[in-house]
Amino acid sequence: MTTRSQLQELLRAVRNNPLAEPQFFEALLTATVYAHVPVHQVPGRIRFIQFNRPDNGQTVLPFFSDQAKAQRALGSSKQVSVIALDGRQMFELTQGATLMLDPNDDQVMLYPEEVAALLTGQPLVAFGREELSAPETVAVRVPTVPVDELIAVLRAFCEIDSDVTAGYIVEVLRGDNQQEASLLVAIAAPKQVAERVSRTSMQRVRPHIDDLALPLIMTVIEPEEGASRFYQRAIQFYGKP
């Protein structure tokens, strides 16, 4: 069982390094978490409180790593109460929902694909984020390594996500001598859903990453960016040319 102090320590690690997220999420399975439920429940089932994010309108189900946080978020409401349960129970009871841990401070997101992976013992993607401090000149070309299996997985994802309008894959050559090759996947979707699209698409391709001949970089672009010369040199595996 993950104790409260252990969970808070792991959460601090995530704040400093997003690559620590998988270990934190796995610890949540055996930690005690807290959620808001209506005082008046339907017999035989548990209903949870959800809300719409003000930044993008997405419906999320909040839960909390600490009882005091759950109580503070509750305020003076007499129609809602706090329940305690272990993380695995929480995930099993809310499958299909998008979860947000500690919405008033850390706002750690867990999407349905990630929850499903946790419950079935599959590894989660460790996300590293690259921020470019200045424009970078790179060379691009059609992938020179096998990508058919990767494309099939990505195309299947794009076909079921109504926010995605296009998908591209290209080989990028970076470095002083342009000898550092990697695969770049760009998925076109509106800015307000970029986080969800990037995380869920990466979780879909996670089982195939180790088989790739080159490192994989993924990004979400605005739909109009797909018309740029850069992506005209890529393989477009989804959407209208």
Domain spans in the chain, listed from the N-terminal domain onward: 4-119, 139-238
Q: Which fold has domain 139-238?
A: Alpha-Beta Plaits (3.30.70)
The whole-angstrom distance between residue 128's C-alpha and the CA centroid of its chain comes to 12
Which candidate, 67, 93, 60, places its Cα nearest to that of 81? Answer: 67
pLDDT in tens, 65-115: 999 999 999 888 889 999 999 999 999 999 999 999 999 988 899 999 999
- Single-letter amino acid code for the residue at 27: A
Domain 4-119 has CATH 3.40.50.2300: no
- Band of residue 56 on the pLDDT scale cut at 50, 70, 90: confident
Does the reported pTM lie above 0.75? yes
Lookup: tokens for 71: 């109580």
pLDDT digits (tens, 9 = 90+) for 114-149: 999 999 999 888 877 777 777 888 899 999 999 999
Q: Is residue 203 over pLDDT 90?
A: yes
Q: How far apart are the first and last CA of the chain?
A: 51
Please give the average per-residue pLDDT across 40-51, as a whole number: 87
Q: Is the distance from CB of 239 to CB of 169 less than 8 angstroms?
A: no
**pLDDT number for residue 130:** 76
Residue with tokens 């290209």: 170
Q: How far is the C-alpha of 109 from the C-alpha of 99, rounded, in Å?
A: 6
